[in-house]
Amino acid sequence: MTGSDGRLVGDLAKAIDESDFAWSLVLVGEDQRDKLAALTSDLLGKPSADGDGKQITSGYAYWGIGPTIAWAHACADPFYLVMKQSLDSFTRRWGRVRGRIGEGFHHVSFGVGTGHKDRLILEHLRERNPDLLYLPVDMSSEMLRLGTQEATHRVGLRGHRVVPVQLDFAITDNLAELRELVHRLVGDEPVLYSLLGNTLANFDQDAELLANLTALARPQDLFLLEVATTEELSEDLARDAVEEYSRSRAYREFVTSALLHNTDLTINVDAVRFRGSVEGDRALKVKVVYQNQTGGDLLMMLPDRSRVAFPDRDTIRLYLTRKYARKALDGIVRAAGMRKVAGTHSDFAVPRSAQGFGMDLLLLAPGEPESLPEPRPDDDVARVIWEN
Amino acid sequence: MTRIAITALTFGALAVAMALGVTWFAVSPPGQRWEPAVNSLALLAGITGIFAERWASQREQRNQAIDSIRLELARNRETLDGEAFSATSSRGRRVYPRLVQSAVDSALSSGALSPHRDAGLIDLLHRWRTAVASVNRRLELTEMLVFTSASEEKAEQFHAALHSASSFFQGVRTLLDEAQDALDRPARRQVS
């Protein structure tokens, strides 16, 4: 880079810092045409009555201004329990784990969300690192704009220390590029990565995604993970989970908004169906599907003007979510090559929620769990004093 | 006995005065009823004011007690999350920080918590208090045995026992989670 290039970057940073206008400098790592092609391809799946054919995968549910606004509305809906409880109890849960985060951390946030949680994190980190760099990462530029504004509101971060990155972090190659970018920006200084709001549960290959994301963490880095959890797994509880999501009309409007935004279908929110199941010994799984209940075959036009048959009773999977078994969390974390540094749990404190549903916030670090030496026979005194 | 007599005398006098006031109002000619009316209403306000003040005072005491317990639990959380109790901390001899329970003791002994409304919370705080006393005692024993032993190995043995999965310490952490959750919930949830 020449001297004049350096001056240009410096001038740009200065212009952003000194302006009252809400400029945001976004690094775009996505070719929107590729994303559109992928979305179109996902909607060309075979007919299925159970949401196993056509689908809208995780990031696309928030792609575009329509879905972004619908999601912001859904988050404010008291009937969307996971999100409401997650937001309400985050301050308390964060307060219990933040003491384990040291000095000088930067923050990389996967899926920025409404930005409320990131703001709490940034306030804490900035007290310990005034030169903190904040990189929110999301596939949707609209979500980035919405979340970043809230996250940095009154935190006192200078504009050029906020670098939103538009990138689909579900793609492994993208993560390799992101890793290089982050490491070049922060050097050897530690980074707190975060994946909050039960975002992990929205991905088909959630274990693989977590392993890929946590692989970014170096020994000095930490990873903050928030997931919805359940104490037990059973078909009855899967039905309770379905019931929990199906109560919120704003949530139904959000999940259908991607369809409204990207097809010419006339949306009927009552055609949204929820299918609950138990996923092995690890989670309750809820698939949200849109079913053709018109009694006849439909043709829907996709963004590239191609027309796709949407036969009677066929479905489009709109959203996938899970509630992880608390007992399975240690295994999930270990499989991702991480160990738990601290963790907190919060039950859903509302009478209409099923018993045992809640949110867990885990602070993870790379590496195996600390193995403590097994007490030997001559350790009797210590064991007698400290055993229950 | 004296207290009951004084209470009975006070409320008896107020009740008689109230009855006389009402009678005075009833027998007074229509143009002269202002004075007995004002007198009776002032007496009524005096009687209800006693109870209102008592309730407000109880409520304030309860809120103060809950706030101090909350602060104390947060301090205990910091202690437990601190370096001294970390599984990765140094395994040598050391003096451990202690958990504190003075706000809990004070709330339980002052009667600031209601035995009906806060029954669940009181039970939880009693269990927490017992656990804190127990853990502090175990820490004393640990320090005494570690410092009086010539072997460095002793400190390692206690470190391993303290952080083992079946350690009493893990139960204390869970109990602290429960107590903080109970305090953060609305009051109606604390009863259940």
Does residue A86 contact residue A197 with C-beta atoms inside 8 Å? Answer: yes
What's the Cα-to-Cα distance from A176 to each of A32, A167, A180, B123, rounded to whole Å? 19, 12, 6, 53
Residue with tokens 């009051």: B187
> B157, A375: Cβ pair inside 8 Å?
yes
> A381, B145: Cβ pair inside 8 Å?
yes
- Residue of chain B with shortest Cα separation from A89: B184
How far A19 CA sits from the closest chain B CA (Å)?
A: 41
Using CB atoms within 10 A of its CB, is residue A29 exposed (0-12), middle (13-18) or buried (19+)?
middle
CA distance A184 to B190: 50
Q: Which chain B residues are within 8 Å of A98, Cβ to Cβ?
A: none
Selecting from B141, B158, B168 the residue whose C-beta is nearest the C-beta of A387 gives B168
pLDDT of residue A378: 53
A342 contact B CB<8A: yes
> B166, A387: Cβ pair inside 8 Å?
yes
Query: For a pLDDT cut of 70, what percent of chain A falls above it?
Result: 94
Indicate if the pLDDT at residue B189 is higher than 50: no
Among A147, A188, A189, A186, smallest CA distance to A165 is for A147
- Residue of chain A with shortest Cα separation from B189: A349
Residue with tokens 């018109």: A294
Q: Which chain A residues are within 8 Å of B82, Cβ to Cβ?
A: 99
- Residue of chain B with shortest Cα separation from A349: B185
ipTM over 0.90: no
Q: How far apart are the first and last CA of chain B?
A: 37
Q: Which residue has the higher pLDDT, B149 or B60?
A: B60
B185 contact A CB<8A: yes
Residue B72's CB is within 10 A of a number of other CB atoms, namely 21
Across chain A, what does the average pLDDT equal? 86
> B87, A342: Cβ pair inside 8 Å?
no
3-state secondary structure of A348: coil
Confidence tier at A196 by pLDDT (50, 70, 90): very high
CA distance A213 to A176: 10
pLDDT of residue A1: 61
Confidence tier at A84 by pLDDT (50, 70, 90): confident
pLDDT of residue A287: 92
pLDDT of residue B190: 42
CA distance A161 to A40: 36
Q: What is the pTM of this model?
A: 0.66
Q: Which chain A residues are within 8 Å of B158, Cβ to Cβ?
A: 382, 385-386
